[in-house]
C-alpha cells in the first residue's frame, strides 16, 4: 500500500470520527450546554489531549516551530476552528440543520479553487464529475429530498457559505503549515489551541451556560475532545502531510455526513429514507471517483 493511499485512509478515518460530532452536540445540549460552550470544551480538551500525544510521540522539541508554521497555525485556529464554529452555529440557528449542512458542504468548491491558485492543482474531467456527485450526494443525505424548507434568509445563506469557506480552507492552510513542521501532532495542537483562545475571547462561552462545570457536561466535553477532535485531527494532519492534492481531502472527509446520518437513524430514530440512502451512495461514489485515474494518468497534472 503506497503512502498516498495510507494518507487517504487516515482522512477517511477522520471523516468517520467527525461523523460523531452531532451525537456529542445533542448529548451536551441535553445537559444544558450552548453551541459556543460545546465548541469551546471540544477545542479545550482536544488541545490538551493532543499536547499529551505530541509529547509522547515526538517529544517537547516538536513544539518548536518556525514563524511561518506558527502564522499558519494561528490562521488555522482563528479561521478554520474559531470562525468556522461560530459561523456554523449561526447557520444552523438561522437556516436549520438541513440547510446548514448543505451550505457547509460547499467546502470542496472553495478547496478546489484555493488549491488551483496556491498549489497549481489541476483537475481532470473525472474529478469535476466527482465533485458534482459529492455535492449532490451531500444535499440528498442532509435534506432527504425535502426541498420545501423554511423561508430562506439571505444573511443565513451568506453565513452558511462562510462556514463552508472556512471549513474548506482547513486542508489548504493545513498543507502550508505542514511544509515546515515535522510533527503533525504539534500542528494539530496549535490549531486547536488558537481556535480555543479565539472562541474564549470572542464569545466568553462559559457565561452562556447555567452550570458550566457540571461533572457530566465536562465528561462529555472530554470525550468529545478525545474522539471527534484529538484523535480526528491527529489522523487528519498526519494524512494531510503526505497527500499530493489538497482538493482530495474534503471529498474523502465527506464520509462524515454518511456516519452522522447513520448515527441519527440508530441513536435518535431519525428517518433513513430511500433518498438519503441514494445520497450516501453518491457520497461514497464521489470518493472513489475523485481518487481514480482518468485515461491512465493521475489527475494531478503539473
56 assigned to some structural domain = yes
What's the CA gap between 199 and 195, in Å, rounded? Answer: 6
φ, ψ of residue 7 to 5 degrees: the values are -70, -40
pLDDT value at residue 174? 94
Q: pLDDT tens digits for 95-151?
A: 777 777 788 889 999 999 999 999 999 888 888 999 999 999 998 898 887 766 555
Percent of the chain with pLDDT over 70: 94
Q: Of the ranges 68-72, 176-180, 197-201, 249-253, which one carries the lowest mean pLDDT score?
A: 176-180
pLDDT grade for 267, boundaries at 50, 70 and 90: confident
297 assigned to some structural domain = no
Q: Of the ranges 4-18, 205-219, 263-277, which one carries the lowest mean pLDDT score?
A: 263-277
β-sheet bridge partners, residue 294: 297
295 assigned to some structural domain = no
301 assigned to some structural domain = no
Q: What is the sign, positive or negative, of the torsion defined by CA atoms of 277, 12, 38, 173?
A: negative
pLDDT grade for 301, boundaries at 50, 70 and 90: very low
> How many domains, in total, are found in the chain?
1
Domain span at residue 78? 3-290
pLDDT value at residue 18? 94
Give the residue-averaged pLDDT of 191-220.
96
pLDDT value at residue 298? 42
112 assigned to some structural domain = yes
The answer to whether the CB of 203 falls within 8 A of the CB of 16 is: no
Look at the block and give the residue holding cell 444573511: 155
> How far, CA to CA in Å, does 301 sit from each of 122, 123, 128, 168, 244?
6, 8, 14, 22, 11
pLDDT at 295 over 50: no
302 assigned to some structural domain = no
128 assigned to some structural domain = yes
The answer to whether the CB of 289 falls within 8 A of the CB of 127 is: yes
129 assigned to some structural domain = yes
The answer to whether the CB of 252 falls within 8 A of the CB of 12 is: yes
The answer to whether the CB of 173 falls within 8 A of the CB of 167 is: no
Amino acid at each position: 500500500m503506497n503512502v498516498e493511499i495510507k494518507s487517504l485512509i487516515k482522512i477517511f478515518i477522520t471523516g468517520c470520527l467527525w461523523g460523531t460530532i452531532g451525537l456529542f452536540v445533542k448529548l451536551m445540549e441535553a445537559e444544558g450546554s450552548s453551541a459556543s460552550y460545546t465548541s469551546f470544551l471540544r477545542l479545550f480538551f482536544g488541545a490538551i489531549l493532543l499536547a499529551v500525544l505530541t509529547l509522547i510521540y515526538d517529544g517537547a522539541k516538536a513544539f518548536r516551530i518556525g514563524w511561518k508554521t506558527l502564522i499558519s497555525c494561528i490562521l488555522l485556529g482563528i479561521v478554520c476552528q474559531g470562525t468556522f464554529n461560530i459561523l456554523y452555529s449561526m447557520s444552523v440557528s438561522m437556516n436549520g440543520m438541513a440547510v446548514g449542512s448543505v451550505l457547509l458542504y460547499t467546502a470542496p468548491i472553495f478547496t478546489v479553487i484555493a488549491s488551483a491558485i496556491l498549489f497549481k492543482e489541476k483537475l481532470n474531467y473525472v474529478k469535476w464529475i466527482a465533485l458534482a456527485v459529492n455535492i449532490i450526494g451531500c444535499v440528498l443525505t442532509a435534506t432527504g429530498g425535502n426541498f420545501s424548507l423554511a423561508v430562506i434568509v439571505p444573511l443565513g445563506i451568506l453565513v452558511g457559505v462562510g462556514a463552508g469557506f472556512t471549513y474548506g480552507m482547513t486542508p489548504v492552510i493545513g498543507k502550508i503549515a505542514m511544509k515546515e513542521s515535522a510533527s503533525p501532532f504539534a500542528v494539530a495542537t496549535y490549531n486547536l489551541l488558537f481556535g480555543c483562545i479565539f472562541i474564549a475571547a470572542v464569545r466568553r462561552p462559559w457565561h452562556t451556560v447555567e452550570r458550566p462545570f457540571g461533572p457530566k457536561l465536562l465528561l462529555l466535553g472530554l470525550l468529545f475532545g478525545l474522539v471527534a477532535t484529538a484523535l480526528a485531527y491527529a489522523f487528519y494532519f498526519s494524512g494531510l502531510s503526505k497527500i499530493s492534492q489538497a482538493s482530495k481531502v474534503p471529498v474523502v472527509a465527506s464520509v462524515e455526513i454518511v456516519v452522522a446520518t447513520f448515527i441519527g437513524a440508530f441513536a435518535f430514530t431519525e428517518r433513513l429514507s430511500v433518498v438519503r440512502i441514494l445520497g450516501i451512495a453518491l457520497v461514497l461514489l464521489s470518493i472513489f471517483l475523485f481518487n481514480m485515474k482518468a485515461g491512465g494518468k493521475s489527475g494531478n497534472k503539473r
